[in-house]
A = this chain, B = another copy of it.
Amino acid sequence: MIFFDNASTSRVREECLNILTHFYINEYYNPSSLYSPSVKVSTKLKQAREGIIKALNGSGNLVFTSGGTESDNLALLGLSLPKYSNIVLSSVEHSAIYNTGNHLKQLGYDVRFCKSDSVGCVDVASLIELIDDKTSLVSIMHVCNETGAINDIKLLCRKIKAINKNIIFHSDGVQALGKIKIDLDDINVDLYSLSAHKINAPKGTGALFIRQGINLTGILFGGAQEKGLRPSTENVAGIFAFEKAIKLALAEIKQHNETFRQIREKIMRELPKIDDKIIILSNENCADNILTFASNSVRGEVLLHALSDREILVGTGSACSSKNKTHRIPEALGLQKDYHDGLLRLSFGIYNTLEEADIFVKELSIAYDYLKRFKRS
């Protein structure tokens, strides 16, 4: 099986599994309990938190959540934004931001969506145009989950705060973590979302970085865990596996990106030979692990199934919206209409090899040639 859908989720790595097993069976104690084995877990939790903050060079706090979606929700809904203020998001944000934005709109906020270029990068002029003295929050993803496009968050933060220094800047870093360099103090974001299961740690764990001085209130109510910002017994096993996965991912980032680049280049070279009308959306400025392309001859979903029959797993874009038939993303990318249903996203992970790229190209070519015969009218 060739798994080229690592941006949707990923296999838990052995090093994380060992940690999970240990905390499931041995140190399973509730970190809020008062006896010493619990205090030990609680101390380790503190160390994991500090370890992650340090690894990402952030001056602030880190709240553990159930995943990227909850982190995004906590960021946008946990801020007590002034009524009548406006909020600016990009039009290619993940649904966890996009739909939370729509919810804020329903609550009466003026939610504005800035344009992106054809790769999924925020159009800086369009973003700046939407900012004014009533803007309270800007949320722009670091790496686009659909195309791998990298936004220059440092530049955006600087430009935006130059216009209005009170703006809070959030970035969804779910697809950036372990794929590109993250230096939270350098890019100067106020809030930054992370997810574990995209970097070979288990599903059900995420985190939100909160810069010192940013006031957030919890969106769930209950116990006093996570400094009152996120009640519920902490998923300690998941958190410790997450910490390990982050450290490993950061240590191996160059090595894996080199492989991803080679895989991507090989496939990019071959795609025009399969069909010279294929549009490649990702470019060399995108994160190395994502390659998205579109066809106007074969539907992405059909191609996905044909490849799946040949033991190759790819995506048609975000899994979170794969069952929702909308064209929000291709529209935002300005893709020609006849390509809208032809999107395919390949996303590589630590277990992929260059040989798999060869097999992929071969199988894609066979499947594509076969399917093109049934070209949509």
Contact = CB atoms under 8 A, between A and B. Distances in A.
Contacts of A202: 24, 235, 237-238
A249 interface: no
A238 B204 contact: yes
Contacts of A99: 221-222, 231
Interface string A327-367: 00000000000000000000000000000000000000000
Interface stretch (A62-70, A250-258, A274-282, A288-296): A62-70
Contact of A100 (B94, B222, B225): B222
Contacts of A25: 11-12, 17
A320 interface: yes
A315 B238 contact: no
Contact of A69 (B94, B204, B223, B321): B223
A319 B34 CA distance: 8
A20, A231, A233 — most chain B CB neighbours (10 Å):
A233
B320 A223 contact: yes
Contacts of A308: 35-37
Interface string A193-208: 0000100001111000
A320 B205 contact: no
> What is the copy number of this chain in the assembly?
2
A319 B224 CA distance: 10
A5 interface: yes
A16, A202, A315 — most chain B CB neighbours (10 Å):
A202
Contacts of A232: 66-70, 96
A118 interface: no
B320 A233 contact: yes
Interface in A26-48: 28-30, 32-38
A8 interface: yes
